[in-house]
Amino acid sequence: MKFDRLENLIGSFSLGKLKCSTVLVVGVGGVGGYVVESLVRSGVGNLILVDFDKVDITNFNRQIIAVNENIGKYKVDCFEERIKSINENCNVITYKLKINESNIKNIFKIKIDFVVDAVDDVNAKESIINYCLENNINFISSMGTGNRLDPSKLIITTLNKTYNDPLARIMRRKFDKTIQKKIKVCTSVELPVKVKNKNKIGSNAFVPSSAGLLIASYIVRKII
């Protein structure tokens, strides 16, 4: 059985809860891709994937779906194929779109147990967070993983407790301190590395992926 070793760790009842759960992942790039990979290998039975982007050669240093045969294909299509090759019983819904206030309701047509915000667009992040807060939906938001080298500096906390994270600093300005305490995030406390080209964010294979694994672990533990 594919999930025997996981069942041995968490028990059949908890594995059953994962099989019945639905997780929405918005953004399936460096962080979100590893969230998806971990959740499908953890027996999550229903995944909803949202991303408007296609696989590009610049993704190869950090995104699990970035291989030569996928260049130019929509990321959500590549992940649907990958998910089915891992667990054919996992139900997958995909959306090729960029989230905003006008279309976000269309994604929440079914009951969702957990939402992962893994996008880098500030307005989209704000829309996702606001919708989840207003509708009492469990969620976690990924903050910045670029320009970092040490995955051991990643933590899960609330937005009000973030520091050394430029993206989190921007997001804190969007919410008052009372609301910040309700926003669960994955953030790095490592000071960003000063890169030569300030117009291009530096990245690697191990910090975004570690953030994705940490988020997936948090979700699985919350569900069970």
Q: How far apart are CA 215 and CA 38, in angstroms?
A: 9
Phi-psi region of 130 (alpha: psi -120 to 50; beta: other; left: phi over 0): alpha
Q: What is the pLDDT of residues 41-79, one digit of tens each?
A: 999 999 999 999 999 999 999 999 999 999 999 999 999
Q: Are strands 46-50 and 114-117 parallel, antiparallel or unpaired?
A: unpaired
Widest CA span in the chain: 51
Q: How far apart are CA 27 and CA 161, in angstroms?
A: 24
Give the model's confidence band at 157: pLDDT under 50 very low, under 70 low, under 90 confident, else very high: very high
Mean pLDDT of 154-164: 98
Residue 186, classed as helix, strand or coil, is strand
Mean pLDDT of the chain: 97
Task: Find the range with the poorest average confidence among 4-8, 86-90, 198-202.
Answer: 198-202
pLDDT of residue 199: 87
> How many beta carbons lie within 10 A of that of residue 5, not counting itself?
8
Which domains does the chain possess?
A: 4-145+203-223 (3.40.50.720)
Tokens 């407790």, residue?
161
Q: How far apart are CA 81 and CA 217, in angstroms?
A: 23
β strands within 36-175, DSSP E: 46-50, 91-95, 114-117, 139-142, 154-158
Query: Structure tokens of 58?
Result: 């610049």
177 contacts: CB under 8 Å, gap ≥ 6: 160
Q: What are the two backbone dihedrals, phi and then psi, of residue 115, each rounded to the nearest 5 degrees? A: -120, 135
Q: What is the pLDDT of residues 10-45, one digit of tens each?
A: 999 999 999 999 999 999 999 999 999 999 999 999
Q: What is the pLDDT of residues 85-143, one digit of tens each?
A: 999 999 999 999 999 989 999 999 999 999 999 999 999 999 999 999 999 999 999 99
Choose among 156, 151, 147: nearest CA to 187: 156
Residue 198 pLDDT > 90, yes or no?
no
